[in-house]
Amino acid sequence: MINLDIKPLSVNRAWRGRRFKTSEYKAYEKQMLLILPKNLDIPSGNLDVSIKFGFSNAGSDIDNPLKMLVDILQKKYGFNDNKIYKMNLEKIKTKKGCEFIEFDIRGVE
């Protein structure tokens, strides 16, 4: 798994209306694109994605930051998210200031 020490961005903070990214999402996307590993081998074909979100708020919805993360990953690594056929999500409670995202992308077996 790849571990990113960044708090997952909520979908509620990502969109202004239906079409425009908020300035907070733009900053988040920029930071994510900088901290993601440069070279990650994404298999061709169908994908199996595993994601762990570390939230300090136990009330956070597990799927809330999912869309932004997947969109940023496909932008960084040049794959189409319609190739994701399997996904495993996990929510982990962590201390405030210790939020994180871990992910792994593999070919579907």
| pLDDT of the residue at 56 | 97
Q: Please tell me the pTM assigned to this model.
A: 0.84
Q: What domains can be seen in the chain, in order of their start residue?
A: 2-107 (3.30.1330.70)
Given a contact cutoff of 8 angstroms between Cβ atoms, the answer to whether 52 and 90 are in contact is yes
In angstroms, what CA-CA distances link 85 with 1, 4, 24? 19, 23, 30
| pLDDT of the residue at 15 | 72
Q: What is the pLDDT of residues 64-83, one digit of tens each?
A: 999 999 999 999 999 999 99
| pLDDT of the residue at 78 | 95
Q: What span, in angstroms and rounded, lies between the C-alpha atoms of 55 and 16?
A: 23
